[in-house]
Amino acid sequence: MRLTRMLSFGICVGVMLCSMSAYAATVRAICNVPAHLVMPLVQQNEPFHVFIKAGKGQWQPAEYELQDGRIIFHLQPAKLGGSDIMLLLNPPQDLDIYDNNPPALTGLKVDARQLPTESVVHLGVANRAPRLIRIGAVDAENALDLTSVSAKLDELAVREKNIRIESTEPSKATVSVRLRNVEYGRHRAIVSIPDASPQVNALQVVVAFDYVDTTNFLLAALADVKMRTDSCFSNYEILEPLNDGFKDLTGVHCQNDVSWASAEGPGDHWVEVTLPEPKTIKEVTVYWAYYSGAYHTSQKIEIQVPEDAGWRSIYSSPKEGHPVSRCTTFRFTPVKMDKFRVFQHSGGGAAGRPDLMWLAEIEAR
């Protein structure tokens, strides 16, 4: 476990960062003028083994003084050859402090698929997103720091309960990462497995994939789909962008050539979709308008199908709304239909502009 605490020193330019681990203490100092670093000693158990290095330099024995229950280091960045200084106090005998190599990748499996042991893989394009990444790692010099194993999916940390570590000896482990459900689009998972050296060399494995739709019934190039809306924003009267297949918006430009918007005002907004023939449909995906770096993800949506003279809801947004993202898929018990509508409740648009419905594409499959 690496603990950190911040220290600041008036005579130093920058900050000092101190970290303690179970086996030893490391202190990191950013300083570009000569400085004294004074630390209290809880227990004075000489002899001390202290090493110092700067930047990418090599560890060397450090000089220190013991005085009244304190240990004093004289930091000389010019002499050490850098201002990013690290001190290592009493490293254990079996720690290879000169270790600059990350753990090696010994195996990589995604779901049931065994992959080449490469640290960056692209799984390709598939209509199913991967759920489980399994990584084998071994460090030649040191133990692995299994308490610092981490994973991210699309820059969001994977929860600890979804990371499982199996290890039979300190330098070897198998790390399994369970991925959450993702929306259609491009995704990237990164798993990081560090060694226990003071350099914290980490094996990083990147698994990228494209989760795509291959059975969209609404694509204009494939079917004569009709659309109708409750209203249109001024200069957003063309509905073709809603099923032209184009959904990679830049975030800078979001006119009617790439999106459709409802009138902006209180009241329900909707897009009615008519298929040329009935299809059994299990989900509708809406790609939201993307403008000024923000996705306009509506928060209160229903998917409705005709019933008698009115409409029946087959999907309703959860109370908490939807995470802001490029697209949202609304799933429901499959229904055979030739008509449905994406219905936004009054005030159920994106935060900031709740009376607007602004979309880039609708898909159904």
Q: Which residues here bind Ca ion, judged by CB under 5 A?
A: 99, 101, 139, 141, 195, 201, 241, 244, 246, 360-361
Q: Residue 263 class from Cβ within 10 Å (0-12 exposed, 13-18 middle, 19+ buried)?
A: middle
Torsion, CA 245, CA 247, CA 248, CA 253, rounded to 10: 120
Instruction: Using the minimum distance from each CB to Ca ion, give the nearer residue, 195 or 302.
Output: 195
**Least distance to Ca ion from the beta carbon of 133, Å?**
22
Helix (H) or strand (E) holding 77: helix 77-80
**Least distance to Ca ion from the beta carbon of 211, Å?**
18
- Residue 2 token pair: 């690496």
Instruction: Using the minimum distance from each CB to Ca ion, give the nearer residue, 141 or 272.
Output: 141
CA dist., res. 288 & res. 259, Å (int) = 8
Instruction: Using the minimum distance from each CB to Ca ion, give the nearer residue, 100 or 280.
Output: 100
CA 33 to chain centroid, in Å, comes to 38
**Least distance to Ca ion from the beta carbon of 8, Å?**
32
Radius of gyration of the chain (CA): 29
Residues 6+ apart with CB under 8 A from 363: 213, 216, 217, 218, 219, 243, 284, 285, 286, 287
Query: Which string of DSSP letters, residue by residue, matches 305-353?
Result: EEETTEEEEEEE--TT-----SEEEEEEEEEEEEEEEEEE-TT-SBTTB
**Least distance to Ca ion from the beta carbon of 179, Å?**
27
> Scanning the structure block, which residue is given the tokens 């809880």?
42
CA dist., res. 282 & res. 315, Å (int) = 10
Instruction: Using the minimum distance from each CB to Ca ion, give the nearer residue, 87 or 359.
Output: 359
**Least distance to Ca ion from the beta carbon of 289, Å?**
10
Instruction: Using the minimum distance from each CB to Ca ion, give the nearer residue, 101 or 316.
Output: 101
Instruction: Using the minimum distance from each CB to Ca ion, give the nearer residue, 185 or 241.
Output: 241
**Least distance to Ca ion from the beta carbon of 299, Å?**
21
**Least distance to Ca ion from the beta carbon of 100, Å?**
7
Instruction: Using the minimum distance from each CB to Ca ion, give the nearer residue, 59 or 246.
Output: 246
Instruction: Using the minimum distance from each CB to Ca ion, give the nearer residue, 182 or 359.
Output: 359
**Least distance to Ca ion from the beta carbon of 94, Å?**
13
CA dist., res. 220 & res. 204, Å (int) = 42
